[in-house]
């Protein structure tokens, strides 16, 4: 329902159709109703071998683990720190902890020194006594865990300087003698002697605490309830166009876009790549994805816009694409136009870790769309566009997107300062994105307001960064690109393009500027206002966080060194 169609406010039609239930209870229902249904298929990206996990297998293994966790001291209201790696063992570990009535702090391995995890543990405090972690492919995560504990473990007992309440570390599986000092999930499963009554869990209790990557600053901790995650799963079923069947989603489990809420909510089958964060190259990633598409009957898939240019080099007609969803950053019409003829349906998604899914746009063939269109709200979601003073704008006017959702965001854990900066007293969350609501109620998200430029006292729209990036990535000589705003030594904001070239190729700065000016889809008026003051820097590769995301903070620092060198 839109209300006054002249103002930049719109509410999604309907409400999420989800049961009022906690996740372990829903998993029990799935196991009883469809015990042999496959919940997840994990594909090894090196060997292409696959491992399946049925609902009954997950439930029975998780129940056994829950009894063991109770034996070692996990109780209702506790927090279990759960390191992330996309594997079946991770699913068992999470559901097992939830069955105890605990919530899970889901942490990716972003830093080699483990300081981000240690910082999160210090915020959690005395409620966290147990950590369960994966060794990672070839035990890559073990040194990080050793850094957190400063000296390792003796029979699973550990000491962490920043969280003295943390008592035990449990490894998901043991692959080498190095990890023998830790208890395994298998060891804990055998500790199930004695009676145990599974606690009753309120659907609005915290189920997980998500941890941001920290690629643009200090990580934040974001709690989500059981009910919120099920509502998000329902939203994904709309945004993927798939409520049953097989969904390919290889995002990291600890990201909201990768968390297994879709398969938990719908009872569908999720296909993913095991140890996806360890894939060393985009070519190996695409080889694995291509194998999945050609061997599995995939009904829906979530693709990264950044991968489209590399995917374009392959024969997508053999991939048998059905429903495709893209999101995670502004999507240009060029990407939409390329993918539409190759799939049955195409959806553009827009959301955030805090309020989960906001809007979706089902693209139709033979239609023209503006760049960065993100559609209308999901059921249970409201969106408005306001000016810098929070005043509601007329449609067609650029401002900032605010979102209010049934997936309630109540604030960052123990961080009132950053919470008050983004959440108002009426429950509206500031997205921080430069946004326009069209006359017909569609949302156009141009990019981060933080990526705006201030020139002669005038703020240039953040779309400058999005436009430049979306068109540079279409250049076949460019393998990857990050476009950021960086302050020079005079504290003036400059646009910097960090570019990785295809092997044996290179363009001069003048050729790059001419390429942008010649692009018919590029906002030439905007570019002329920039007075060609864009800086281009070549990179051999981009620094990454341990979950595979580009470390934009580090890229920005390197660009700043080049800029001021």
Burial of residue 455, with CB atoms counted within 10 A of its CB: 0-12 exposed, 13-18 middle, 19 or more buried: middle
* Per-residue pLDDT in tens (0 to 9) along the chain, 565 residues: 444 579 999 999 988 889 999 999 999 999 999 999 999 999 999 999 999 999 999 999 999 999 999 999 999 999 999 999 999 999 999 999 999 999 999 998 877 888 888 888 888 888 898 999 999 988 889 888 888 887 555 555 766 666 677 888 899 987 666 667 788 999 999 997 778 899 999 999 999 999 886 655 578 999 999 999 999 999 999 999 999 899 999 899 999 999 999 999 999 999 999 998 888 877 888 899 999 999 999 999 998 766 666 676 677 666 778 999 998 777 778 778 888 888 899 999 999 999 999 999 999 887 888 888 999 999 999 999 999 999 999 999 999 999 999 999 999 999 999 999 999 999 999 999 999 999 999 999 987 777 655 443 344 445 567 678 877 887 889 989 998 888 777 776 778 899 999 989 999 988 888 888 765 444 443 444 444 468 899 999 998 765 567 888 899 999 999 888 7
109-163 pLDDT tens trace: 877 888 888 888 888 888 898 999 999 988 889 888 888 887 555 555 766 666 6
| Phi, psi of 70, rounded to the nearest 5 degrees | -60, -40
At residue 349, the pLDDT reads 95
Alpha carbons 187 and 370: distance in angstroms, whole number: 56
What is the fold of 23-211? Rossmann fold (3.40.50)
pLDDT score recorded for residue 536:
93
Tell me what pLDDT residue 264 has: 98
* pLDDT tens-place string over residues 367-381: 888 888 999 999 999
d(CA 150, CA 49): 36
Eight-class DSSP state of 292: H
Neighbour count for residue 123 (Cβ, 10 Å): 19
**Residue from 375, 393, 371, 373 nearest 384 by CA:** 393
What percentage of the chain reaches a pLDDT higher than 90? 56
Phi, psi of 171 (to 5 degrees): -90, 140
For domain 454-564, which CATH number applies: 3.30.300.30, 1.10.150.530, 3.10.20.600, 3.40.630.30?
Answer: 3.30.300.30
Q: Which of 385, 386, 384, 378 is closest to 407 using CA atoms?
A: 378
Q: Which pLDDT score, from 0 to 100, does residue 166 have? A: 84
- Find the length of the chain: 565
Residues 6+ apart with CB under 8 A from 381: 11, 12, 235, 355, 357, 358, 359, 403, 404, 405, 406, 407
Tell me what pLDDT residue 219 has. 81
* Beta-carbon count within 10 A of 157 CB: 13
C-alpha of 499 from chain center: 23
SS3 497: strand
Rounded-to-10 torsion of CA 171, 173, 178, 180: 80
In this structure, are residues 432 and 421 in contact, taking their beta carbons and an 8 Å threshold?
Answer: no
Q: What is the C-alpha separation between 388 and 399, in angstroms, rounded?
A: 7
Closest residue by Cα to residue 30 from 231, 309, 263: 263
Model pTM?
0.84
Query: Distance (Å, rounded) from C-alpha 475 to C-alpha 519?
Result: 11
Q: What is the pLDDT of residue 158?
A: 67
Q: Where are the domains of the chain?
A: 23-211, 454-564
What is the per-residue pLDDT for 217?
A: 56
Interatomic CA distance for residues 351 and 12, integer angstroms = 14
According to DSSP, residue 200 is labeled: P
Q: Distance from CA of residue 318 to its chain's centroid? A: 28
Domain 23-211 and domain 454-564 have a common topology: no
């Amino acid at each position: 329902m839109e209300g006054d169609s002249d103002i930049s406010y719109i509410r999604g039609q309907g409400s999420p159709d989800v049961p009022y239930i906690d996740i372990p209870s829903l998993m029990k229902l799935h196991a009883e109703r469809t015990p042999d249904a496959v919940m997840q298929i994990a594909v090894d990206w090196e060997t292409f071998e696959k491992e399946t996990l049925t609902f009954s297998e997950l439930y029975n293994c998780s129940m056994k683990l829950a009894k063991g966790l109770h034996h070692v001291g996990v109780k209702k209201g506790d927090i279990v720190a759960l390191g992330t790696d996309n594997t079946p063992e991770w699913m068992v570990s999470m559901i097992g902890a939830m069955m105890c009535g605990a919530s899970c702090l889901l942490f990716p391995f972003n830093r080699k020194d483990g300081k981000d995890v240690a910082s999160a543990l210090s915020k959690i405090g005395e409620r966290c006594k147990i950590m369960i972690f994966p060794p990672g492919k070839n035990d890559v995560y073990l040194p990080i865990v050793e850094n957190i504990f400063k000296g390792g473990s003796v029979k699973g007992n550990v000491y962490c300087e920043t969280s003295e309440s943390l008592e035990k570390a449990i490894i998901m599986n043991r692959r080498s003698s190095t990890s023998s000092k830790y208890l395994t999930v298998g060891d804990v499963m055998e500790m199930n002697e004695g009676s145990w009554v599974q606690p009753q869990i309120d659907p609005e209790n915290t189920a997980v605490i998500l941890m941001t990557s920290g690629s643009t600053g200090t990580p934040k901790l974001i709690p989500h309830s059981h009910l919120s995650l099920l509502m998000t799963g329902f939203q994904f079923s709309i945004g993927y166009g798939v409520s049953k069947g097989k969904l390919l989603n290889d995002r990291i489990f600890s990201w909201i876009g990768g968390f297994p809420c879709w398969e938990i909510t719908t009872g569908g089958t999720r296909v993913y790549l095991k140890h996806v964060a360890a894939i060393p190259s985009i070519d190996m990633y695409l080889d694995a994805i291509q194998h999945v598409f050609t061997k599995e009957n995939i009904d829906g898939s979530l693709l990264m816009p950044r991968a489209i240019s590399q995917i374009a080099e392959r024969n997508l007609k053999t991939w048998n694409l059905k429903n495709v969803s893209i999101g995670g950053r502004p999507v240009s019409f060029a990407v939409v136009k390329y993918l539409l003829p190759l799939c049955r349906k195409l959806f553009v998604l827009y959301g955030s870790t805090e309020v989960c899914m906001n809007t979706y746009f089902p693209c139709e063939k033979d239609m023209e769309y503006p760049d960065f269109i993100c559609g209308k709200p999901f059921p249970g979601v409201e969106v408005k566009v306001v000016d810098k003073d929070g005043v509601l704008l007329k449609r067609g006017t650029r401002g900032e997107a605010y979102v209010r959702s049934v997936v309630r965001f109540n604030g960052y854990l123990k961080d009132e300062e950053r919470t008050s900066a983004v959440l108002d007293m009426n429950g509206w969350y500031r997205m921080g994105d430069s946004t326009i609501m069209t006359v017909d109620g569609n949302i156009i998200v141009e990019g981060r307001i933080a990526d705006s430029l201030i020139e002669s006292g005038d703020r240039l729209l953040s779309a400058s960064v999005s436009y430049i990036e979306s068109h540079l990535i279409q250049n076949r000589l460019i393998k990857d690109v990050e476009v950021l705003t960086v302050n020079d030594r005079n504290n003036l904001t400059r646009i910097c393009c960090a570019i990785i070239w295809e092997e044996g190729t290179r363009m001069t700065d003048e050729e790059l500027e001419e390429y942008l000016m010649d692009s018919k889809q590029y906002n030439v008026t905007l570019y002329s206002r920039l007075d060609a003051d864009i800086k281009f820097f070549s990179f051999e590769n981009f620094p990454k966080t341990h979950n595979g995301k580009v470390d934009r903070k580090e890229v920005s620092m390197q660009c700043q060194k080049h800029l001021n060198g």
